[in-house]
Structure 1
Amino acid sequence: MRSMGIRTLALVLMVLVVASSCKKKNPTSLKPGKTSSKTGLAYNGEDGFEVKQYKALPAGPDLVFIEGGRFTMGSLEEDVMGTRDNLERTVSIQSFYMDETEVANVHYLEYLNAVQRDSSEEFYRRALPDTNVWFNELSFNDSYVTMYLRHPGFRLYPVVGVTWGQATDYCTWRTDAVSQSMSAKGTSAGTKKKGISLGKKKKAAQAEVATAASPSSMSVESGYVLPPYRLPTEAEWEYAAKGMIGTQYADENQSNQRIYPWDGSTLRQPRGKSKGTMLANFKRGKGDYAGIAGRSNDGAIITQEIRSYPANDYGLYDMAGNVNEWVQDVYRPLSYMDFNDLNSLRRDGYQDEAKNYDSKNSNSLISDKVRVYKGGSWADVAYWMSPGTRRFMEQDSATSTVGFRCAMIATGSTGKPR
């Protein structure tokens, strides 16, 4: 009797295990199943509607995942300029990707090489940075004019002398270049490097990618079309720079706000072996760009090689100092009042139009051709390194203090590679 009871119990357990293993799995975006949950019709059937199985792939090279969320956008410093153009307000940002570092000279030279090879001479000339931004009648910066962009010693220094339009063109080219690289490998966004493969069941999709004549021949539905590289919006840039993810301690509580991309109000390492060293490359005061020889604190009279200073809590380098960075937004002094509070962006030609500003009579610098730049530079005092500060410049202008980095949308609920 006892043995029969044990056998019965074992049988019941087996039935429960089988039943639990046969439990219906809900479809997801990455695993939608073989049939439609609404019609019962088979995917990839005779009607031609294709819903291929898909494995989430990493984003493009050098991009860092920035988990979205709510934050207080706006300046936390005293408004010493009296502009009152970035008052505090709460906004939310969808998850996205951003370059770990600023675009460096070697990266831009790679672009120029491709443009010279594949485009017209006219477009190549338009793509060239203005190296004369280093020239100053009252300074001997002449060597930078000829050396900074092309000399190997400056390869990983941030590119400068680029206009907003040139930076946007670079983003467009990079999208195509990375897509072509993926097509040649038969995978997407460095999947081999990340240890993610398409697998045997994905041979058809792999063949589609590998044999594509160009990235544009692939469909968005395939999942192997890279979202475009672009300049970050002002809100995205400010959100990523603050890195408030590092201030959380429990249940959506934050221990503090941030004036800079790091904790505290000091500009130096507060502890450890590097205690006392500068956290960014900036101008310490009138005539003081780096400190005293032998104890040169920030180590750079002008720009400095990327990754020379500590990254913020998102793993992003030089979100304060080194060079300012272009963002997408057109400048308006009242953007903080007009922004949508979700994925904020200020477009040109919409609301508070340029005709409201008397630029024709030189009574205003504001137009639809001025763009925001942020972050502070090697030639700026600490005030401008606060993520909430903002300045603007003609989109066709360039200086030795402004560069850029790229961003990209994160697809799906989080967009984070699984």
Structure 2
Amino acid sequence: MEIISKLSILIVILFISCHSGRGNVDVQQSADSIAVCHIGAIPSRFTALHKDTLSYEKGEDNVRMVFIRGGKFKMGSTDFVDAQPVHAVEVNSFYMDEHEVTNAQFEAFVKATDYVTVAERPLDPKEFPGVDPAMLVPGSAVFTNPSKVDGMDNFLQWWQYVPGANWRYPEGPNSSIRGKEDHPVTQLAYEDAEAYAKWAGKRLPTEAEWEYAAKAGNHTSETYYWGSEKKENGKWLANIFQGDFPMKNTKEDGFETTSPVKSFPANAYGLYDMEGNVWEWCSDFYRPDYYMQSPKSNPKGPSSSHDPQEPGLVKRVQRGGSFLCNDEYCERYKAGSRGKGEVNSPTNNVGFRCVKDI
């Protein structure tokens, strides 16, 4: 317990946040209302690259990919300051995985390559001067339901650094992916997702490709990618949080954390879980002002990352929201909105899916 407590002090300083909110606010200040959805990294992981990341023989994951015919669409949202201005974008045709990469798929990749994820790698004592090296144990961030909260500003009331948490044990050593082989894999940093995509002969989507595929030809200003209601015939249309966040999830959709892929209806393009379940890494660096100068054709994001709220951290875009999202607190699963994550920040509500060029 002492190790966890002392590491939590470091986490207060070093972990990052995902924000949600509305309103016309100066993007340089990013002063929209804050809702911490997930948190981030320990600095030693910035340099702890896996030596074989770029040298694997290509594998094959055999997941069904959907052909996405290219075209034009309106990208962004008037409800989120960093998703403005809404602007016209054209993307080329591509293939996209019909669902998020699963535990079984990622396990096959690890067995074929002996890949070691960021959350499993040792922490470098040189990055923590004065800290007992015995404290620096591999692990990651896990969401836990607190019995009570004192305000909503301190995200450490519901996020904990758990030694031993990684993709095999998403909630810590007492958890397991056994029996959850068809759930999306989580606890992956950006480079973990990128390594898998390269092994499979694919890549991570740009956020323009991701949003275009999520809208599935629906170019109206719907609240959600599928429409304006969260239920159809009394059934929830996505795996999100119901109840009193963060204390009580009523699980009206049937799930407290991740759900098996394809548990909810596909969109018009045949893609599953484009909202909810787990956040999905995109290849774009995150900048809140990027849409002001984004190219009109096949934008790939800015050349570098900058988040005014945490300018020292490198962030990539994440899309789609997770099982922790809801309209009252973390609403970045809504149509056109953007998430962000520090690149070395695995949590138990972040995963990915892949795309492939024609």
Range class of TM-score, shorter chain: 0.5 to 0.7
1:112, 1:128 within 8 Å by CA — same for their partners in 2? no
Q: CA deviation at 1:385?
A: 1.8
Q: Report the CA distance shift for 1:378/1:128 in structure 2 as closer, same or farther (over 3 A).
A: same
Identify which of structures 1 and 2 has the higher relative contact order when contacts are C-alpha pairs closer than 8 Å and 6+ apart.
Answer: 2
Q: Report the CA distance shift for 1:277/1:337 in structure 2 as closer, same or farther (over 3 A).
A: same
2:239, 2:255 within 8 Å by CA — same for their partners in 1? yes
| Alignment counterpart, residue 100 of structure 2, candidates 86, 97, 102 | 102
1:149, 1:155 within 8 Å by CA — same for their partners in 2? no
1:332 and 2:287 correspond: yes
Higher strand share: 2
1:374, 1:387 within 8 Å by CA — same for their partners in 2? no
| Structure 1: gaps of 5 or more residues | 1-58, 117-122, 176-228, 248-253, 270-274, 358-362, 411-418
How do residues 273-352 of structure 1 correspond to structure 2 at under 5 angstroms?
A: 275-287=233-245, 291=250, 297-349=252-304
Q: CA deviation at 1:364?
A: 4.0
Tell me what 1:268 maps to: 231
1:164, 1:396 within 8 Å by CA — same for their partners in 2? yes
Q: CA deviation at 1:313?
A: 0.3
How do residues 159-170 of structure 1 correspond to structure 2 at under 5 angstroms?
A: 159-170=185-196
1:398 and 2:346 correspond: yes
2:278, 2:349 within 8 Å by CA — same for their partners in 1? yes
- Mapped partners of 2:174, 2:89: distance in 1: 43
Superposed CA deviations along residues 68-127 of structure 1, whole A, max 9, x for unmatched, are: 111110015x33xxx3443211111111111100001111111111122xxxxxx53558
- Mapped partners of 1:242, 1:66: distance in 2: 11
Tell me what 1:133 maps to: 141
- Mapped partners of 1:326, 1:86: distance in 2: 20
Q: CA deviation at 1:258?
A: 3.0
Q: CA deviation at 1:345?
A: 1.3
Q: CA deviation at 1:386?
A: 1.4
| Alignment counterpart, residue 198 of structure 2, candidates 169, 172, 177 | 172
Q: CA deviation at 1:257?
A: 3.6
Q: CA deviation at 1:284?
A: 2.6
- Mapped partners of 1:317, 1:103: distance in 2: 11
1:330, 1:372 within 8 Å by CA — same for their partners in 2? yes
How do residues 18-417 of structure 1 correspond to structure 2 at under 5 angstroms?
A: 61-76=63-78, 78-79=79-80, 83-116=81-114, 124=116, 126=118, 128=120, 132-134=140-142, 136=144, 144-146=171-173, 148-151=175-178, 153-175=179-201, 229-244=202-217, 247=218, 256-263=220-227, 265-269=228-232, 275-287=233-245, 291=250, 297-349=252-304, 364-366=309-311, 369-382=314-327, 383-410=331-358
4+ residue runs of structure 1 moved beyond 4 angstroms? Answer: 125-131, 135-143
SS of residue matched to 2:244: coil
Superposed CA deviations along residues 276-305 of structure 1, whole A, max 9, x for unmatched, are: 1100011134247653xxxx5311011111
Report the RMSD for the aligned CA atoms in angstroms: 2.9
2:143, 2:348 within 8 Å by CA — same for their partners in 1? no
SS of residue matched to 1:167: helix
SS of residue matched to 1:114: helix
- Mapped partners of 1:260, 1:124: distance in 2: 36
- Mapped partners of 1:132, 1:146: distance in 2: 11
- Mapped partners of 1:317, 1:163: distance in 2: 22
Tell me what 1:18 maps to: none
TM-score of the superposed pair, with normalisation by structure 2:
0.65
- Mapped partners of 2:105, 2:177: distance in 1: 11
Query: Percentage identity across aligned positions?
Result: 34
How many pairs does the alignment contain?
259
| Structure 2: gaps of 5 or more residues | 1-60, 122-137, 145-155
